[in-house]
Chains A and B, each alone.
Chain A
Amino acid sequence: MTATSDPAQITELAARAADNRVNLDFETEGMTLNMGPQHPATHGTLRIVARLDGEQVVSAEPIPGYMHRGYEKLTEVRSYPQINTLINRIDWLGSFANEVPFILAAEKLMGVEAPPRAQWIRTILFEMSRIANISLFLGDYGLQLGGMTAGFYAFRDREHVLNQIEAATGGRFHPNFDRIGGLKDDLPKGWIANSHNAMDKLLAFCDEMDDLLIGNEIFQSRTRGIGVIPADVALSYGLSGANIRASGVDWDLRRDACPPGLVYDQADWKVWTHPDGDCFGRTWVRLQETREAALIVKQLLDTIPSGPVMAKVPRIIKVPEGEAYVETENPLGAMGYYIVSKGELVPFRVKIRSASFNNISIVPWVARGAYVPDLISILGSLYFILGDIDR
């Protein structure tokens, strides 16, 4: 990793990169293209105002906020268990992963630790939501680049994971299963064997995507060298998850700063990085991550300890005074909750650090000089969930 720390250098690098990509040969009258809030490529209600020169993007400015639900304000009047249902709706494709950092932050303030079995199941479900989220990304990215079939394959195979999540938690999309001090319930009978099967199917799905999408020449020509983000810019924008790993930064919170309460150190797995920092790298890293997640789940399934799934916590949860920040490696990237508690039923302030917010704020930088179809490639490969931007 080569991190440039000099701000002037970064600004100059950015300007140079932009200038190289914008065609200044002939001056033509520009066109303002308003993509969204309802546009197939924004999967949600993101609006992008793009100034075009022909098909080339001169500037692109995302305008979020069409789905802002004011969660940070709502948390000030909701008790901790109630907030748990709210934050399920942030990244709606990997909902369980949203709950974990919040619960861990509250546990940290309360000094409670979940029993080992709960930690194991938590980690398994966390990885399952990652698979549910990213497998859909792979299909959806194919769909955005015009390959319809990948999308349907993704919907077909995501179902296996969703079935497992549903069997364990009762909810396919919004489990609301994590509790301060453990989990709502233990696993149902036969779940472990079924999960092994589901993970095998997901591994086969990854191979299929490798053939259908990653190996396709047209896909590669659409993504290689498009939307290149250097490592220092990625750090400066606070990109996280596969987006920063595709820029060559070897950083994964699961491995490097795993908060207590998750048991990633119990499995043998690898963090994948890609040196190019382009759309292809981001897609490739995500595909590898899906594979790794399935392998993590398979390993942890074999070693789940027995015991209770809930620690002793009071029925009415009051979190002691203090401040805590817990960040985990969510499907979309680093997601954290900064909780300020005054020792009451409700938190005093919750700052939600969602990954997509930072990930998508780089669009004006990276989209300059791209073509309109490249804008779709870039937006798709940065991979945002609108609820994760707007909160």
Chain B
Amino acid sequence: MTLHLLASFAPPYWLSTVIKVLVISIVVPTTALILGMVFLFKVMSWMQSRLGPQEAGPRGTLQLLADGVKFLQKEDIAPNGADMFVFKAAPLVVLMSTLLLYVALPASAHLVVANLDVGIFYVLAVSSLSVLGVLMAGWASANKYSLMGGLRAAGQLIAYELPMVLAVLGVVIQAGTMSLNGIVFAQADGTIFGWSGIGNPYILTQFVGFVIFIAAVQAELTQPPFDMPVAESEIVSGYQVEYTGFRFLIFFLAEFATAFVFAGIASILFLGGWAVPWLETGSDWYYVLGPIVLFAKVMIVSFIIFWVRFTYPRFREDQLQSFAWKFLIPLALVNIVITAVLKVVF
């Protein structure tokens, strides 16, 4: 059976590397396109009681492809005063951070580029690389709005790393591992007071952590209500203001691909990842089922993320900082203490 073939497929190192590179470079733009199309175009227009794109492709589904082609055709403009090297490197740094994030995302027990023992640690580390790109873009554009946007992004991303780490810490304590696959196994094998019907998705025990994580993800992605770095009504899209064509497309791709991968990490940490309750985690079916299950959960988490994005107005920069430092971080710390105590008790 094909499943057994898949399971026993053990390519040499060079071939597996080539396959992994190909898969990542296909998956990243595809997931970004899917999120952009489904949420930015369709869900957003339904929420806002309008039609959304209708012309390109069946019911406008190919609109984003058309937009992508449009971006490719545009002239590559850089401001005169820009620091050319940094200006051109910035989108790539942001994209690089996104690509590195995908490396650790497991779609099933074996469908993962690099099954790291410290997966979640790695994810949190490389995700903060993107702020470097944003800061480079803001500074190199030689534009005051860009500079303000870049600085706001830097302040915001630093402030939100900490609640995110602390929110994740609760899960790590409960699972006893930092490996993303290990966390999935721990949830699938867990029990709720002895009942193992649906395993133990950590959203039940770590609900506070989930909420903090989603809030921090919103801030990392610079989406409303935390979109001050790109606030178009204040600083005219911030660090992106001088970027056109392909470079802007890279920022766009990176934003949505990052949204996808963070939704993926949220579903791995809190919703049981690629596992389904009625199937053993060792089953060969996960070669096919794993990505589908993960994708479904990602869509659910993304829906929450984008729902908030389309509904809320924007914080002010200082309000955001006090929200992070005075509310989210103490809450996360309390959550960790309670988790640790309960971990010892049970």
Chain A interfacial positions (CB closer than 8 Å to B): 31, 33-34, 39-41, 55, 142-149, 152-153, 156, 212-213, 216, 218-219, 221-222, 371-376
The answer to whether A221 touches B233 (Cβ under 8 A) is: no
Known contacts: A33-B144, A39-B236, A152-B48. The answer to whether A218 contacts B231 by CB under 8 A is: no
Known contacts: A153-B49, A222-B315. The answer to whether A41 contacts B234 by CB under 8 A is: yes
The answer to whether B48 touches A146 (Cβ under 8 A) is: no
Known contacts: A148-B48, A156-B49, A372-B234. The answer to whether A218 contacts B315 by CB under 8 A is: yes
The answer to whether B317 touches A371 (Cβ under 8 A) is: yes
The answer to whether A147 touches B313 (Cβ under 8 A) is: yes
Interface magnitude class on chain B = 20 to 34
- The interface residues of chain B lying within 8 Å CB-to-CB of A373 are 228, 231, 234, 314, 316-317
Q: Which residue on chain B has the smallest CB distance to residue A42?
A: B233
Supply 14 A–B pairs (Cβ within 8 Å), ascending by A: A40-B233, A41-B233, A146-B231, A146-B233, A147-B224, A149-B48, A153-B49, A222-B315, A371-B316, A371-B317, A372-B148, A372-B235, A373-B314, A376-B234
Tell me if B318 counts as interface (CB < 8 A to partner A).
yes
The answer to whether A146 touches B50 (Cβ under 8 A) is: no
The answer to whether A40 touches B312 (Cβ under 8 A) is: no
The answer to whether B314 touches A222 (Cβ under 8 A) is: yes
- The interface residues of chain A lying within 8 Å CB-to-CB of B318 are 371
Q: Which residue on chain B has the smallest CB distance to residue A373?
A: B316
Q: Which of B49, B233, B316 contacts A144 (CB 8 A)?
A: B233
Give A208 to B144 CA distance when docked, in angstroms.
Answer: 37
- The interface residues of chain B lying within 8 Å CB-to-CB of A31 are 144
The answer to whether B313 touches A146 (Cβ under 8 A) is: yes
Please indicate which of the listed interface residues B48, B313, B315, B317 has the most CB atoms of chain A within 10 Å of its own CB: B313
- The interface residues of chain A lying within 8 Å CB-to-CB of B313 are 142, 145-147, 213, 216, 218-219, 222
Tell me if B47 counts as interface (CB < 8 A to partner A).
yes
CB distance from A354 to the nearest CB of B (A): 24
Tell me if B252 counts as interface (CB < 8 A to partner A).
no
- The interface residues of chain A lying within 8 Å CB-to-CB of B148 are 55, 372
Chain B positions 212 through 256: 1 when the CB is less than 8 Å from some CB of chain A, otherwise 0: 000000000000110110011111100000000000000000000
Q: Which of A33, A145, A152 contacts B314 (CB 8 A)?
A: A145
Known contacts: A147-B311, A149-B311. The answer to whether A40 contacts B224 by CB under 8 A is: no
CB distance from B304 to the nearest CB of A (A): 16
Going nearest first, the 7 A-B pairs with the smallest beta carbon separation are A146-B314, A147-B313, A152-B48, A145-B313, A144-B233, A373-B316, A146-B313
With A146-B233, A147-B313, A373-B228 known, 6 other A-B pairs at CB within 8 A are: A40-B232, A146-B312, A147-B311, A149-B47, A156-B50, A218-B315
Tell me if B319 counts as interface (CB < 8 A to partner A).
yes
Q: Which of A39, A148, A372 contacts B310 (CB 8 A)?
A: A148
- The interface residues of chain B lying within 8 Å CB-to-CB of A146 are 224-225, 227, 231, 233, 312-314
CB distance from A1 to the nearest CB of B (A): 31
- The interface residues of chain A lying within 8 Å CB-to-CB of B233 are 40-41, 143-146, 376
Give A339 to B227 CA distance when docked, in angstroms.
Answer: 49
Q: Which of A55, A143, A148, A218 contacts B317 (CB 8 A)?
A: A55
The answer to whether A221 touches B319 (Cβ under 8 A) is: yes
- The interface residues of chain A lying within 8 Å CB-to-CB of B225 are 146, 218
- The interface residues of chain B lying within 8 Å CB-to-CB of A374 are 316
Known contacts: A143-B233, A148-B48, A152-B49. The answer to whether A216 contacts B144 by CB under 8 A is: no
Give A34 to B144 CA distance when docked, in angstroms.
Answer: 9
- The interface residues of chain B lying within 8 Å CB-to-CB of A148 are 44, 48, 224, 310
CB distance from B310 to the nearest CB of A (A): 5
- The interface residues of chain B lying within 8 Å CB-to-CB of A55 are 148, 317
Please indicate which of the listed interface residues A147, A153, A213, A374 has the most CB atoms of chain B within 10 Å of its own CB: A147
Known contacts: A149-B48, A372-B148, A376-B233. The answer to whether A222 contacts B316 by CB under 8 A is: yes
